């Protein structure tokens, strides 16, 4: 038994090897350095939203004896989320179809535990969020990776349908997409739903779609976000409030399934058991007490869009190839040399910290977080220019 356990941990460690190398190395050394223009991850670099702080403060004083007792998916939290989803999707969501989780990570871990049996295949699109492969393996599933080609990052739905086998249990779909910033339109989601419906009929069981959408309120240029849940009944939404509120250390999110899903009540029971088995994956009491106020708050998306415009224009003028993100926190840029890790090291010598593309399975590129302050953007532009020139000079 011990040998099997060690081997499994080794497999999990290998799956997040690039992540650990970066975060235990350059990130650990430079993240707290005030002289660094820090674009590494979606962390805040300015003080939290005042409304966020006051919302938590207003719930600190206990109203009754069980104020800080064990909390699961509290009725008020579920109702708040259901109303929000109804407003945003035009569907009539039932509070009983909402499971409150300890962030988006907890929502995805719960979905994996609820859906995946040992040996089940789970398809995900690459470049991915750091932990998709890791979480599939942790649930004893089999990861199946399909590529999104830059710079369009458009899913090949024919390839996706062909990859579905009788062992396929779920597909993870991320929109707005981290790291590319793509916001997939409703027509693409319809075609995805049609492909999954046909594949489900072919293999003889439903293929679940895990819609990872923590950035669904961070969209630019007047775009409207659509969830796959609007067009595909076997969708499970994973959401985190940490992005919209830019408070990723305060862990609250949810897992939700639409009113069109067959067998909703039984699935809800499975999810609750999965949350218990995943380590009581429910948000803390204080965050659930404050959810009504938190639901209406957001970072300044228009300011982030202006930051995107300033940075992308400057990078392109320098000579970088970049994406123009439609949403999320992130810009992807192609390194002027093939080794993105080496180029990230070069940028660090010019006081700019970025995430090497290798960490998100996109070698040759690097990711820039727009949660950096405006001052960091202005400081970083000169560093990007100097590193680009030095790389070209060999």
> Residue 2 pLDDT more than 50?
no
pLDDT of residue 8: 77
Work out the mean pLDDT of the chain and round it to a whole number.
96
- Long-range own/partner contacts, residues 131-137 (CB < 8 A, 24 or more apart): 131/16, 131/19, 131/105, 132/172, 133/15, 134/12, 134/15, 134/16, 135/108, 135/109, 136/112, 137/11, 137/12, 137/15
> Residue 309 pLDDT more than 80?
yes
3-state SS class at 255: strand
In sequence order, which residues have a C-beta less than 8 Å from that of residue 70 and are 6 or more positions away? none
> Residue 5 pLDDT more than 70?
no
Token representation of residue 282: 């429910």
Please compute the mean of the pLDDT values over residues 118-124 and round it to a whole number.
Answer: 98
Please compute the mean of the pLDDT values over residues 105-110 and round it to a whole number.
Answer: 97
**Each residue's pLDDT tens digit, 269-295:** 999 999 999 999 999 999 999 999 999
How far is it, in rounded angstroms, from Cα 253 to Cα 191? 28
Could you tell me what percent of the chain has a pLDDT over 70? 98
Q: pTM of the prediction?
A: 0.96
pLDDT of residue 54: 98
Burial class (CB in 10 A: 0-12, 13-18, 19+), 123: buried
3-state SS class at 201: helix
Burial class (CB in 10 A: 0-12, 13-18, 19+), 72: middle
Could you tell me the pLDDT band of residue 7, with boundaries at 50, 70 and 90? Answer: low
Could you tell me the pLDDT band of residue 47, with boundaries at 50, 70 and 90? Answer: very high
Find the DSSP H helices in the chain.
Answer: 2-15, 17-23, 26-30, 50-57, 75-89, 103-115, 132-138, 157-163, 186-203, 241-244, 264-277, 285-289, 291-294, 301-318, 340-349, 374-392
Please compute the mean of the pLDDT values over residues 75-95 and round it to a whole number.
Answer: 98
Rg over CA atoms, the chain: 21
Please compute the mean of the pLDDT values over residues 169-195 and round it to a whole number.
Answer: 98
How far is it, in rounded angstroms, from Cα 284 to Cα 87? 26
How far is it, in rounded angstroms, from Cα 190 to Cα 85? 19
3-state SS class at 349: helix
Please compute the mean of the pLDDT values over residues 59-81 and round it to a whole number.
Answer: 97
**Each residue's pLDDT tens digit, 224-233:** 999 999 999 9
């Amino acid at each position: 038994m011990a040998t099997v356990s060690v081997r499994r941990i080794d497999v999990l460690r290998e799956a997040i090897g690039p992540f650990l190398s970066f975060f235990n190395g350059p990130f650990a050394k430079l993240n707290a350095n005030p002289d660094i223009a820090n674009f590494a991850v979606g962390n805040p670099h300015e003080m939290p939203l005042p409304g966020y702080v006051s919302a938590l403060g207003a719930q600190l004083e206990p109203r009754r004896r069980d104020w800080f007792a064990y909390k699961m998916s509290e009725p008020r939290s579920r109702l708040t989320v259901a109303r929000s989803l109804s407003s945003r999707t035009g569907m009539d969501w039932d509070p009983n179809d909402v499971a409150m989780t300890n962030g988006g990570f907890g929502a995805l871990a719960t979905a994996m535990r609820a859906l995946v049996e040992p040996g089940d295949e789970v398809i995900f699109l690459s470049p991915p969020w750091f932990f998709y492969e890791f979480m599939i393996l942790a649930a004893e599933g089999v990861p199946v990776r399909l590529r999104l080609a830059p710079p369009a990052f458009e899913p090949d739905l024919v390839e996706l349908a062909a990859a579905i086998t009788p062992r396929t249990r779920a597909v993870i779909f991320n929109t707005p997409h981290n790291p590319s910033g793509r916001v997939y339109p409703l027509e693409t989601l319809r075609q995805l739903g049609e492909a999954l419906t046909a594949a489900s009929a072919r293999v003889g069981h439903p293929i679940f779609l895990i819609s990872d959408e923590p950035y669904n309120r961070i969209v630019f240029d007047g775009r409207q976000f659509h969830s796959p849940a609007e067009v595909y009944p076997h969708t499970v939404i994973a959401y985190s409030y940490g992005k919209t509120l830019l408070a990723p250390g305060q862990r609250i999110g949810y897992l939700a399934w639409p009113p069109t899903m067959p067998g909703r009540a039984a699935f809800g029971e499975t999810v609750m058991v999965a949350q218990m088995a995943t380590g009581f994956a429910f948000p803390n009491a204080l965050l659930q007490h404050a959810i009504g106020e938190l639901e209406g708050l957001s970072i300044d998306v228009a300011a982030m869009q202006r930051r995107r415009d300033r940075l992308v224009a400057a990078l392109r003028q320098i000579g970088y190839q970049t994406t123009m993100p439609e949403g999320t926190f992130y810009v992807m840029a192609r390194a002027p040399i093939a080794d993105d890790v080496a180029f990230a090291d070069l940028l660090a010598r010019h006081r700019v910290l970025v995430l090497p593309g290798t960490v998100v399975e996109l070698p040759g590129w690097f990711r820039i977080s727009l949660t950096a302050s405006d001052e960091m953007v202005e400081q970083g532009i000169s560093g990007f220019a100097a590193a680009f020139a030095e790389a070209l000079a060999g």
